Each structure stands twice: as C-alpha cells, then as structure tokens.
C-alpha cells in the first residue's frame, strides 16, 4: 500500500506523536509498504512532506479565510485555528493525494481537513492521541465564562466530533479515550477500535547501552522528567514538590529534559525557590534511553494525559515511575506494583512519594523491574502494527463499499 501518515501538529517535534509516526513508518516499510510523513513545519509557516523535503509555503493562502468567511470570528483562538485549518487544507490540496491507498491521520484537526479533500478511492484511518477539545478548552477557556468562551467551547466540541467521525475507522489507545468519544462527544461506538501503542523495544534497549552524554553526580540520586515544557504537563507542581524535598534532604538532582513554551517560567520558578543547584534544564535531547539508564526514577506530574511516551520508555528501561493518575495512565500502571500513581496538582503527595522512593532502594528497584517485565510483552511493536493493519484493511473495505 501507499500510505500517508498525516498530522496537523508541527513536525519534527519533541513528543510521542512524532515518535509514533517514525516507528510506524519504519515498521510498515519493512513489511513492504510505501509511507510518507505530512505535517506543519516550524512556526506554521509551511506544510511539508518531511521524508521528501517537499514544502508548501502557506503564506500563499493569506487572506483567503476572509473571503471564505464573511463575518469576523468572535474569538482570537477560533480565528487562529480557522486560519491554521484553512492553510493546512489548502496546502494539502496541492499534493497528489490520488497516489495514496490510505491516509492515516493523527489528530482530529488533520482528520477534519483531509476528509473534505481526499479522493473517493483513498481510505482514511484516524488515530487520536488525546482529546484536543479538552486540552484547548482547559488552556484557553477554563477560567473565562463569557459569550466568547461559550463559542470557543462549542467550536472545539464540534471539531472533536467531526474529526473523530470523519475517518472510515478511528483508533484510540485506551478505554478512557474511547469513553470520552462515545459518552461525551456521542461518536458511534462502531466507529472506534481500541489498540494500545507499540514501541521499538529492541532499538530502545540498544540505545540504553550507549554512554550517557550527562555525567551522573556523585552520591546523588537522579530524578528525571522527559517531555514538553507545557502548562498541562504540570512541571510547576513538580518544582513546588521539590522545594519541600529540599528542606528534608539534598541527596538528589532533578533533570528536566525537553523544551516548550513554559521553559522560561519554569526556570524563573526554580530560581525563586532557590533550587538552581538541584534542578537542571537539559533542553531537547536525543539520548533519553541513556538518561533513563542512569536515572533512579521518572516523574510525570501531568494534568492531562492519554498514553504517555515517557512512561512507556521508563517501563521498558526498568526505571521506577511516579505519575499523575489522569486520563489513560491508570490503565498502564498498577499502583504500588509497576509504578506510583498520585493525584494531579497534589504537590505534598508528590513530595511524599518522591521522598519514599529515595529512601527505599529495594522497593524502587522492584517497581522498575516489575514494570519492565510487563512492558516487554505489552508494548510489542510487531503486535501493535499487525493489529493496526487489520484496521487499515477494514477501513479500505468500508470505504470501497460506500
């Protein structure tokens, strides 16, 4: 098959969606399929086929939205997304979509846009890696009750439904996301297949053997965060928890690996709390497996989560995890057995669990080992891709029967 893996988000990027796309492309090509990667480029200035280095400058479409929509949007967030969606759709129109047997989108926005313009013979599968409506509403409207906020909530609810319903088949990673779509957004249950992610375990374990670029400090345990530095990741709550930890003990450092819009704010918070000697911001990294190999625990204080890549990687590495009990996380961690679940935003509880794992070496080690035993079987990439191909063929059959 000729397959297009498409996302609305900027790629390449730090995060699980891009890693998912890369690993899926590699494994599909091993099986004899041809795969292209599509997404927005840096600062949304272009849309590109990443693997072919083919760029479409979206400045050509500037002002087009004012022609299509006669009335001005009521809300700046809606205006931004209307522009981005239109530019994306117009850019994708310039590509030869007829060459693809199947388009596999990675979010509700790309699904909504591409469904409008895909050829009749081209089938579509959508994998939803999270609830876009929830994330945007939480970030932009949660504290504002006004006519604008109501319009914004309505807009993103409609987008979530449209994107989740527009493909021939929709894939989610867990029951949590399935329930959101069927119960809150009223997506037809027959539309949805629930398939957990896979991961290239062998490659990851090999990379763990490479020497770490960071040197482990003497007589200190390493706490690690990996991921985007964004509000919904809750890193500010981790820093507050570490402020309490510093009062009790100093035998630790915390490495924060990643970049994102909240980096400056988090660095200021670190300085204000006097934690500069304990917290180090590492920026975007390409050596996460090596960092995990020398770390004592991974901490993910997230507020919204689907099936976090950072936890999957920590499980494969045998590193103990402390993670917020949100979204789909409780479906992949058994509290006290394969990890520690904490309530989101509860800095004192987070502090208490970090302190306990620092004290109890054997318990921490056992958490990581039990998680690794489970992960090596559960996150098989071959099994995941095999199940996904079944969905591909189902989507093709459904599309051709229309």
pLDDT (0 to 100) of residue 144: 61
The predicted model gives 318-347 an average pLDDT of 98
Residue appearing with tokens 């945007």: 136
- Structure confidence by residue, pLDDT tens digits, 22-52: 999 999 999 999 999 999 999 999 999 999 9
Phi, psi of 130 (to 5 degrees): 170, 180
pLDDT (0 to 100) of residue 341: 98
- Structure confidence by residue, pLDDT tens digits, 108-139: 999 999 999 999 999 999 999 999 999 998 88
- pLDDT of residue 232 exceeding 80, the answer is yes
Do 117 and 228 have their domain in common? no
DSSP 128-155: --S-HHHHHHHHHTTT--SHHHHHHHHH
What is the token pair recorded at 178? 């399935």
Angstrom distance (rounded) from CA 328 to CA 376: 19
Do 285 and 344 have their domain in common? yes
Element (H, E) at 124: strand 123-127
pLDDT (0 to 100) of residue 67: 54
Do 110 and 139 have their domain in common? yes
Return the beta strands (E) in 175-333 as ranges. Answer: 192-194, 221-226, 252-257, 279-283, 297-300, 320-324
State the chain's mean pLDDT as an integer.
94
Do 246 and 121 have their domain in common? no
Do 237 and 122 have their domain in common? no
Do 114 and 208 have their domain in common? no
What is the token pair recorded at 134? 């929830």
The model's confidence at residue 244, banded by pLDDT at 50, 70 and 90, is very high
Do 32 and 164 have their domain in common? yes
Do 240 and 288 have their domain in common? yes
Nearest to 189 by CA among 181, 200, 197, 199: 181
The model's confidence at residue 151, banded by pLDDT at 50, 70 and 90, is confident
Instruction: Give me the percent of the chain exceeding a pLDDT of 90.
Output: 88
Tell me the CATH number at 165: 3.40.50.2000
Show the CA angle centred on residue 229, arms to residues 226 and 234, nearest 5°: 90
Residue-range definition of the domain harbouring residue 161 = 2-198+381-400
pLDDT (0 to 100) of residue 104: 98
Q: What is the distance in angstroms between the CA of the first residue and the CA of the last residue of the chain?
A: 20
- Bridge partners for 169 per DSSP: 125
- Whole-prediction pTM: 0.91
Angstrom distance (rounded) from CA 26 to CA 177: 26
The model's confidence at residue 71, banded by pLDDT at 50, 70 and 90, is low
Residue appearing with tokens 């599309």: 399
Q: Are 46 and 57 in contact (CB under 8 A)?
A: yes
């Amino acid at each position: 098959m000729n397959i297009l893996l498409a996302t609305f988000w900027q790629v390449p990027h730090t995060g699980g969606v891009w890693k998912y796309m890369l690993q899926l492309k590699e494994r599909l090509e091993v099986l004899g399929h041809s795969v292209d990667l599509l997404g927005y480029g840096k600062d949304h200035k272009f849309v590109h086929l990443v693997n072919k280095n083919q760029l479409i400058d979206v400045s050509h479409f500037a002002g087009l939205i004012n022609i299509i929509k006669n009335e001005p949007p009521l809300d700046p967030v809606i205006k931004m997304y209307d522009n981005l969606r239109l530019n994306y759709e117009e850019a994708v129109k310039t590509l030869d979509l007829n060459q693809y047997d199947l388009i596999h989108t990675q979010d509700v926005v790309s699904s909504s846009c591409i469904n409008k313009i895909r050829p009749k013979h081209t089938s579509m599968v959508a994998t939803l890696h999270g609830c876009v409506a929830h994330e945007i509403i939480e970030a932009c409207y949660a504290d504002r009750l006004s006519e604008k906020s109501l319009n914004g909530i309505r807009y993103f609810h409609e987008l979530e439904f449209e994107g989740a319903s527009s493909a021939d088949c929709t894939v989610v990673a867990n029951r949590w996301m399935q329930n959101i779509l069927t119960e809150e957004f009223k997506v037809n249950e027959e539309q949805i297949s629930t398939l957990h992610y896979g991961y290239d375990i062998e490659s990851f374990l090999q990379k763990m053997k490479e020497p770490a670029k960071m040197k482990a400090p003497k007589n200190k345990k390493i706490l690690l965060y990996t991921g985007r530095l964004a509000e919904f990741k809750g890193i500010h709550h981790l820093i507050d928890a570490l402020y309490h930890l510093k009062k009790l003990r100093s035998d630790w450092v915390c490495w924060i690996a990643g970049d994102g819009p909240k980096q400056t704010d988090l660095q200021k918070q670190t300085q204000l709390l006097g934690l500069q000697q304990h917290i180090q911001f590492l920026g975007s990294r390409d050596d996460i497996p090596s960092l995990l190999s020398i770390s004592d625990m991974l901490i993910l204080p997230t507020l919204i989560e689907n099936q976090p890549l950072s936890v999957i990687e920590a499980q494969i590495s045998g590193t103990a995890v402390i993670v917020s009990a949100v979204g789909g996380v409780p479906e992949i961690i058994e509290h006290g057995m394969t990890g520690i679940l904490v309530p989101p935003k509860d800095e004192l509880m987070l502090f208490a669990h970090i302190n306990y794992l620092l004290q109890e070496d054997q318990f921490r080690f056992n958490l990581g080992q039990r998680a690794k035993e489970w992960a090596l079987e559960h996150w098989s990439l071959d099994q995941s891709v095999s199940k996904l191909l079944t969905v591909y063929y189902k989507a093709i059959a459904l599309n051709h029967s229309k």
